[in-house]
């Protein structure tokens, strides 16, 4: 996984029941290689009332998805793209979209 997907990246699901869905990365767990994506892999949880919880009943929330089922979205053509590592003008390491050559890190 290395530095492939980071928080606030736009990704597209390439396999599974949510194939084709796009979303923003909310959280990345490097140890388990799982990513939490906004609006993807939504699960229903039956939640009872407790102290501190206002929401009771059936609550929908995102569940983590494995990083191998995701690809970054190319900023120019809105499609899935692989990335490669390169350097910008200042010599800083950046991620570059293979499809369009656009720099993903700002």
For the domain with range 10-97, which CATH number is right: 3.30.310.50, 3.30.2350.10, 2.60.40.10, 2.30.30.30?
2.30.30.30
Cβ within 8 Å of residue 59, ≥6 positions away: 44, 45, 46, 47
Structure confidence at residue 23 (pLDDT): 96
Structure confidence at residue 49 (pLDDT): 81
Averaged over 83-97, what is the pLDDT? 92
Residues paired with residue 85 on neighbouring β-strands, in sequence order: 95
More confident residue, 51 or 104: 104
Give the pTM.
0.83
Determine the distance from the C-alpha atom of residue 55 to the mean position of all C-alpha atoms in its chain, rounded to a whole number.
26
For residue 98, what are its two tokens?
A: 């293979």
Planar angle of CA 12, 67, 4, nearest 5 degrees: 85
The CB density around residue 9, as the number of other CB atoms within 10 Å, is 20
Q: How confident is the model over 2-60, as pLDDT tens digits?
A: 568 999 999 999 999 999 999 999 999 999 999 999 999 999 988 888 777 677 889 89
Which residue ranges make up each domain of the chain? 10-97
Nearest to 47 by CA among 59, 64, 35, 36: 59
């Amino acid at each position: 996984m290395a530095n492939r997907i980071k928080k606030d990246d736009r990704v597209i699901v390439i396999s599974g029941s949510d194939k084709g869905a796009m979303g923003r990365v909310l959280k990345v767990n490097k140890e388990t290689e799982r990513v939490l994506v906004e609006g993807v892999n939504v699960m229903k949880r039956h939640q009872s009332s407790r102290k501190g919880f206002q929401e009771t009943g059936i609550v929908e929330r995102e569940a983590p998805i494995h990083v191998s089922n995701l690809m970054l979205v190319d900023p120019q053509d809105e499609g899935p793209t692989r990335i490669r590592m390169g350097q910008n003008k200042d010599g800083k390491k950046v991620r570059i979209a293979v499809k369009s050559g656009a720099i993903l890190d700002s």
